[in-house]
Homo-oligomer: A and B are copies of this chain.
């Protein structure tokens, strides 16, 4: 219980072969918290501008997402415009307006200081470190990152990795961070940088968990309905951390099961545009798909 996420909240404009949306609610902390809220209570921390509508705040609260850490500041909310083509494995970013997110300097409110599980969504490693220092009593801190930080803030990222318990990143990022082509080797090398466990996301192919000297694959849930991949990675992290916070099982099997919640949650997200599926999802639907997935993998 008491799962805190710190990350971005944005307005996304997205185009895919299946349609488009304009200025829809998005951002890493949004997808993460909606996904995790299917399994546990979530504390959300981020920054938005004065243009952020009350209806989104009410939607978060309706999902038992605590918004006391949501800072509203003068200016405009972060905006992202992107498009997907072909197999939709990668977004093409068409425009980014960081707006109020550019100066995000998270100050954890008193109500959040006792958070036991913390997810540092993708952001500058120095901002992620600022949060880490404010949640010193957390039991488990997991971070995300991206190629941009691996290239431009490598030393800060490696320093952060020496202090977090886990990291979630995608296959290209893992290869870039380690210079290794084989993912099992990349995972091992990242564990040597500090984290107790490393989760390498592989898009439609699922993810790999490296922990306790082994690397274990968890395939993607085979959905046939991929309408919009936006938020898949953050939904994966939300489902995974939601399961960890709910079950408090950090054994290899517990972590593996958490990854399965992640991959199943991500498969739900991509079946509709933006946050539409997650906003309408219920715990029973997630549990049903998880059970179906568990049976699929039984040999």
Contacts and interface: CB of A to CB of B under 8 A. Distances in A.
Nearest to A88: B181
B222 A219 contact: no
A204 interface: yes
The count of identical subunits is 2
A204 B183 contact: yes
A216 B222 contact: yes
A89 B111 CA distance: 49
A58 interface: no
A182 B226 contact: yes
A18 to B, nearest CB: 11
Interface string A155-178: 000000000000000000001000
A142 interface: no
A205 interface: yes
Nearest to A293: B299
Nearest to A219: B217
A184 B224 contact: yes
Interface in A194-227: 202, 204-206, 208, 214-224, 226
A279 to B, nearest CB: 23
Contacts of A298: 253, 297-298
A188 interface: yes
B206 A256 contact: no
Interface in A204-263: 204-206, 208, 214-224, 226, 253, 256-257, 260
A217 B220 contact: yes
B260 A299 contact: yes
A87 interface: yes
Nearest to A217: B219
Contacts of A214: 296
A297 B208 CA distance: 11
13 contacts: A87-B181, A87-B182, A182-B223, A183-B204, A205-B219, A206-B219, A217-B219, A217-B221, A217-B297, A257-B299, A293-B299, A294-B299, A297-B297
